[in-house]
Structure 1
Amino acid sequence: MADQPFSLTRPALPAPSRPGLLPVIVTYLEMTAPPAREPVRRPDGDLALLRANPPTWSFYRYLYDTVGEPWLWHERRRMPRKELERSIHDPLVEVWVLHVDGTPAGYAELDRRTRETDLAYFGLIPDFIGRKLGPWLLDSAIRKAWEGGAKKLVVNTCSFDHPKALPLYQSMGFVPTRHVMREVRDPRLDGVLPRSAGPHIPITE
Structure 2
Amino acid sequence: MARRPPLTSPSATAVPPGRLSVIVTFLEMTAPPSHPPLPDPEGDIRLMRAAPPTVSFYRYLYDTVGEPWLWHERRRMADADLAAIVTDPRVEVHVLYVDGTPAGYAEIDRREPEKTDLGYFGLIPDFIGRRLGPWLLDRAIRMGWQGGTRRLTVNTCTFDHPKALPLYQSMGYRPYRHVSRIVDDPRVQGWLPRTAAPHIPIVG
TM-score above 0.5: yes
Unaligned runs of 5+ in 2: none
2:187 aligned residue: 188
Q: Which amino acid aligns with 1:113?
A: R
Decide whether aligned partners of structure 1 residues 161 and 13 sit closer, same or farther in structure 2, where only a CA change above 3 A counts.
farther
**Is the Cα contact below 8 Å between 1:16 and 1:183 reproduced in 2?**
no
Secondary structure of the equivalent of 1:147?
coil
Q: Does 1:38 align with 2:55?
A: no
Rounded Cα–Cα distance in structure 2 between residues aligned with 1:148 and 1:47 = 25
1:113 deviates by: 0.3
Rounded Cα–Cα distance in structure 1 between residues aligned with 2:158 and 2:40 = 28
1:175 deviates by: 0.4
1:145-156 equivalence runs, <5 A: 145-156=144-155
Q: Does 1:83 align with 2:87?
A: no
Q: Does 1:104 align with 2:133?
A: no
Q: Which amino acid aligns with 2:176?
A: T
CA deviations on 1:26-55 (whole Å, 9 max, x unpaired) are: 000000011011111211110000000000
Q: TM-score, normalised by structure 2?
A: 0.93
Decide whether aligned partners of structure 1 residues 136 and 9 sit closer, same or farther in structure 2, where only a CA change above 3 A counts.
farther
Report which stretch shifted further, 98-107 or 143-152. 143-152
1:11 deviates by: 7.5
Residue 93 of structure 1, aligned match among 83, 91, 94: 91
Rounded Cα–Cα distance in structure 2 between residues aligned with 1:7 and 1:25 = 14
**Is the Cα contact below 8 Å between 2:70 and 2:197 reproduced in 1?**
yes
1:1-205 equivalence runs, <5 A: 7=4, 16-115=14-113, 116-205=115-204
Decide whether aligned partners of structure 1 residues 13 and 162 sit closer, same or farther in structure 2, where only a CA change above 3 A counts.
farther
1:9 deviates by: 8.3
Decide whether aligned partners of structure 1 residues 162 and 12 sit closer, same or farther in structure 2, where only a CA change above 3 A counts.
farther
1:17 deviates by: 2.7
Q: Which amino acid aligns with 2:183?
A: V
**Is the Cα contact below 8 Å between 2:109 and 2:118 reproduced in 1?**
yes
**Is the Cα contact below 8 Å between 2:18 and 2:202 reproduced in 1?**
yes
1:203 deviates by: 0.5
Q: TM-score, normalised by structure 1?
A: 0.93
1:7 deviates by: 3.2
1:3 aligned residue: none
**Is the Cα contact below 8 Å between 1:63 and 1:106 reproduced in 2?**
yes
**Is the Cα contact below 8 Å between 1:16 and 1:23 reproduced in 2?**
no
**Is the Cα contact below 8 Å between 2:95 and 2:103 reproduced in 1?**
yes
**Is the Cα contact below 8 Å between 1:31 and 1:154 reproduced in 2?**
yes
Decide whether aligned partners of structure 1 residues 8 and 40 sit closer, same or farther in structure 2, where only a CA change above 3 A counts.
farther
1:102 deviates by: 0.3
Secondary structure of the equivalent of 1:112?
strand
Q: CA RMSD in A?
A: 1.7
How many pairs were matched up?
200
